[in-house]
């Protein structure tokens, strides 16, 4: 299948540490398409050959100190990349859910055998298959859908407030604190080793059409640029690479001292079957914007 998709990506440490920013970049990303997977490893991008189905994307924001956080986010996106080569599942949304739960259990167990589990990461993933996007989500990174100048947030931040509202419980102290993360597990949700992913709320799918845009991003952006300003950027700057840069610049201008990742994904063409040997139409290249 040929996918006409343009991707603009900035994965930045943010402002300099001597101005109050982070020493290292604990964010990571994943772009799988056209026989390749791409992600960060320390301060470089790794590109590996891998046949796969559709376009698989993710962002991750590590926690636990800059070394542990970077390790957690890198482990998360590399684990998630394994889906790319498995072929199209009969039920993609369910496959995403099961895969992330199983991968979490494996990674948590591996870390626990070496001592106390102190590291974790968000993980927000989207898989474009056919004319739909399927997603799965853990933590407080976000996935947005933009069509006809209207922005829809597809994910809900996994705070204690969010889960209390879902369960119709009274709000706990520090309700806006993150309640769980991939690898680490939950924080006061019962099973400390496990994570909670509610089907249909933390997973989902949506039909795509040309002109639609997806935004995957970490809270270094959304903690400082609200949905209205995100909408303005997506409307005013339709070119994905330039838009990703603008979003990061606006986050810094509004006081972000965190790492910032913005992945802007524009759907240019619906997928069409191709015969490579007969000269099918190639998908557009991924545009990766290097960190300053």
Domain boundaries, the chain: 2-289
- CATH superfamily to which 2-289 belongs: PPM-type phosphatase domain (3.60.40.10)
The residue that leads in pLDDT, 255 or 64, is 255
Angle at 67 between CA 192 and CA 45, to 5 degrees: 110
pLDDT digits (tens, 9 = 90+) for 216-251: 999 999 999 999 999 999 999 999 999 999 999 999
156 closest CA partner among 108, 200, 187, 193: 200
d(CA 70, CA 197): 23
The answer, yes or no, to whether residue 279 has pLDDT greater than 90, is no
Is pTM beyond 0.85 here? yes
Q: What is the mean pLDDT of residues 82-104?
A: 96
pLDDT digits (tens, 9 = 90+) for 148-186: 999 999 999 999 999 999 999 999 989 999 999 999 999
How many C-beta atoms lie closer than 10 Å to residue 231's C-beta? Answer: 15
**pLDDT value at position 1?**
59
Q: What is the mean pLDDT of residues 21-31?
A: 94
**pLDDT value at position 192?**
86
d(CA 37, CA 114): 29
């Amino acid at each position: 299948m040929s996918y006409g998709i343009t991707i603009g990506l900035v994965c930045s440490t943010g402002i300099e540490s001597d101005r109050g920013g982070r020493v290292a970049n604990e964010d990571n990303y994943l772009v799988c398409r056209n026989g390749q997977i791409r992600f960060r490893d320390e301060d470089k991008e790794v590109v590996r050959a891998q046949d796969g189905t559709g376009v698989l994307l993710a962002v991750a924001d590590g926690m636990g100190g800059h070394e542990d956080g970077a390790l957690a986010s890198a482990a998360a996106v590399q684990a998630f990349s394994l889906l790319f080569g498995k072929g199209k599942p009969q039920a993609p949304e369910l496959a995403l859910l099961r895969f992330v739960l199983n991968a979490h259990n494996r990674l948590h167990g591996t870390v626990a055998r070496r001592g106390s589990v102190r590291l974790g990461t968000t993980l927000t993933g989207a898989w474009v298959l056919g004319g739909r996007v399927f997603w799965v989500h853990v933590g407080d990174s976000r996935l947005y859908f933009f069509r006809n100048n209207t922005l829809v947030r597809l994910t809900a931040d996994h705070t204690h407030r969010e889960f209390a509202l879902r369960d119709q419980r009274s709000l706990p102290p520090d309700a806006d604190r993150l309640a769980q993360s991939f690898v680490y597990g939950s924080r006061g949700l019962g099973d400390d080793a496990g994570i909670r992913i509610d089907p249909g709320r933390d997973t989902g799918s949506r039909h795509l059409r040309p002109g639609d845009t997806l935004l995957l991003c970490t809270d270094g952006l959304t903690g400082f640029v609200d949905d209205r300003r995100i909408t303005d950027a997506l409307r005013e700057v339709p070119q994905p690479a330039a838009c990703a840069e603008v979003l990061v610049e606006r986050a810094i201008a509004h006081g972000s001292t965190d790492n910032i990742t913005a992945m802007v994904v524009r759907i240019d063409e619906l997928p069409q079957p191709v015969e490579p040997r007969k000269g099918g139409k190639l998908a557009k290249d991924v545009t990766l914007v290097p960190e300053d």
